[in-house]
Chains A and B, each alone.
Chain A
Amino acid sequence: MIPTHDVVLVGGGGAGLRAAIAIAEFNPRLDIAVVSKVYPMRSHTVSAEGGAAGAVAPDDSLDEHSYDTIAGGDWLCDQDAVEMFVQEAPRELLRLEHWGCPWSREPDGRIAVRPFGGMKNMRTWFAADKTGFHMLHTLFQTSLKYTTVRRYDEWFVTRLLVDEGRVQGVVAIDLASGRVEAITARAVILCTGGCGKVFPFTTNAAINTGDGMALAYRAGAALKDMEFVQYHPTGLPFTGILITEAARAEGGYLINKDGYRYLQDYNLGTPHKEPVLKSMELGPRDRLSQAFMQEFAKGRTTDTPYGPVVHLDLRHLGAKKIDAKIPFVRELCMKYQGLDPVKDLIPVRPVVHYMMGGVHTDIDGATTLPGLYAAGETACVSINGANRLGSNSLPELLVFGARAGHAAAEYASRLYDVTPGIVVQTEEERRRVERDLLNRRGHERIADLRTEMQATMEASAGIYRTRAELEKGVERLRQLRVRLADVAIEDDSRTFNTERVSALELAFMVDIADAIIASAVKREESRGAHQRTDFPARDDIRFLSHSVVYRNPDGTPRVDYMPVTITRWPPAERVYGEAAAHAGPHHAAGRSLPAGETV
């Protein structure tokens, strides 16, 4: 049977749209479908604020960007992918500029760059402090040029169709009408973003429920590095709204309840009036979030009705600088906290922000399943390793969106047809979605189960983890699954049934939660964002590898390991603050050591 389309993209955010454009440009004869559960301009890329890193300045170098990324990732990054990424990033950002992205400029008209956390040089491009918004709208509007891109707006993908060992399309619900259809294709690219909603406090939007990761996991593809969950150090206490790292890059201070810049106690350098790259408030996100937890343990954080907070001090920047460089931060604080950063301190706390892990892919976005690709936060290549540096994920969307698009286009050009086996799968899925999930009797409310899952994840897989808590988490999730089978869905309508969507998303999230905790239990070391108080040191001998998790036939996760690609920079100590001036890519460059041996 001929498939409906050549390539189906699940998700219409930054990665999905970039991939669609890449395919359309690479082979204008391919028929491309973008299937998204929301209209593309609602994708969560839109809320990214700070910026996108690309090494273009004359005093910068690709090697420095590589080294910063690899060190920031605590050496869990695949260095070949990182080297390719830092090379492609400036080109992709420039391509976006040609497509109309309103990057902020220097007075002479050249692209402006700003400093960012964990980066030794200023290399972060920005569009005021709404970089993701402008990037997404530029990509979406540019994608309208290509007539070969068809959009399925507000279609919710519930399952991947896999037959004869390769992926052949998706089954999706047209939310407006409720009909369940198979959208067949020769290749599928997953670009569904992260899974922050698995945790209770997150910068992520309601739509970030890890759909693509769960779809791949259930179809038999491998997920990688799932235990590495990034906490952004500065989120607002009740809503979790992101206060961008750019606020610190422009010179903000983090102070505890005594007004003390506490980061200096945590090996992050000494405080200066102006921001110093890779030091203090411009350290990497995992270390800053961990510092918060330790301050909390010492009783030096401020208590609020919404939990402990520290404060971000922007008062010394002045209204003019704030309005020029970070106006959205001011707007958000005034609106959602009722305070003005020009005069007041902003209460902040670490909130879940990004998933370093995801669907395992190679450097071209191909997963372990033929015909299935992934790009963006959904994928784990891995260029972010154990901790992502700020402003690396927006170029990641572009670079790997384009690469996965290319790879999928080439695969699709081989003209595989669709096998009859998927008709049965579609029918099964239709039955499950229509019969079993409409007007379903049960005793559990979706919201209660979701809250329980989120509480479990916060307690067991938070910033600091222990074996005891993790194992408790495994048990709580197991009980949750039993309760999930008894969930009630009152809504019996087919028209835009959001209750059914919530139930499907919850089931996806429970799968992801299982994968996260299973990976975290087995990794007995502390690296980057995964910190074990029972194993506080980094263990390059046993754990300089990616954890890979597969789904067993009975639904339980199975964790294995695969090696990290080390090319030019063998594992060294991560240093920030004054010591960072001496650490750099020239260290041990050119000497490659076998994994496990340190310098």
Chain B
Amino acid sequence: MAESPAYNYHPRWLRRRVSTYWWLEKRSYFAFVLREGSCLFVAWFVVYLLLLIWRVLQGDAAYQEFLTWSARPSVLLLNIVSFLFLVYHAITFFDAAPRALVVHVGKKRAPQQLIGASHYAAWLVASAVVFWLLLGA
């Protein structure tokens, strides 16, 4: 398809710059940036988990030290905030998943609520298994 003879860039047409604070302009934009930012807190929990495992491997004393350190108000606050972001991350992910996953049952498409619900169900089952392992065994 040949290019139309119109100008691609015209010096008089006004291009407005997008502000660096574009994400503060709308509630939905802000929620989006929070969602994206929540992965930082996911990363923190991974690091925390690795630290925990490392300390456990180093023996009982190191583990107790780690627990004391974790009880410090700053670390506690960080972990609480991280947990909240993690829940936000999970919920927004589960809400988004049905939009990308189109599953066909026979000829018809599985309804979106079903896909979303199965994510939550899997989360519950996985959590139940982990709890059972930690508390029961």
Contacts and interface: CB of A to CB of B under 8 A. Distances in A.
A and B touch in the complex (CB under 8 A): yes
A144 B6 contact: no
Interface residues of B, number: 9
Contacts of B5: 150, 152
**Dominant secondary structure at the B interface:** loop
B6 A174 contact: yes
Nearest to A150: B2
Given A153-B6, A177-B7, A144 B12 contact: no
A176 interface: yes
A63 B4 CA distance: 44
A152 B2 contact: no
Contacts of B2: 147-151
A99 interface: no
A150 B4 CA distance: 6
Nearest to A174: B6
Nearest to B12: A495
B18 interface: no
Interface in A144-161: 144-154
Contacts of B105: none
A414 B5 CA distance: 26
B133 interface: no
Interface string A528-571: 00000000000000000000000000000000000000000000
Contacts of A176: 6-7, 10
Contacts of B7: 176-177
Interface string A126-159: 0000000000000000011111111111100000
A253 B2 CA distance: 50
B12 A152 contact: no
Interface in B87-120: none
B108 to A, nearest CB: 14
A151 B3 CA distance: 8
A144 B4 contact: no
A342 B6 CA distance: 47
Contacts of A147: 1-2
Interface of B: 1-7, 10, 12
19 contacts: A143-B1, A144-B1, A145-B1, A146-B1, A147-B1, A150-B2, A150-B3, A150-B4, A150-B5, A151-B1, A151-B4, A152-B4, A153-B4, A153-B6, A174-B6, A176-B7, A177-B7, A177-B10, A495-B12
Interface of A: 143-154, 174, 176-177, 495
Given A149-B1, A177-B10, 20 more contacts: A143-B1, A144-B1, A145-B1, A147-B1, A148-B2, A149-B2, A150-B2, A150-B3, A150-B4, A151-B1, A151-B2, A152-B4, A152-B5, A152-B6, A153-B4, A174-B6, A176-B6, A176-B7, A176-B10, A177-B7
Sorted nearest first, the 4 A-B pairs with minimum C-beta distance are A150-B2, A144-B1, A151-B4, A147-B2
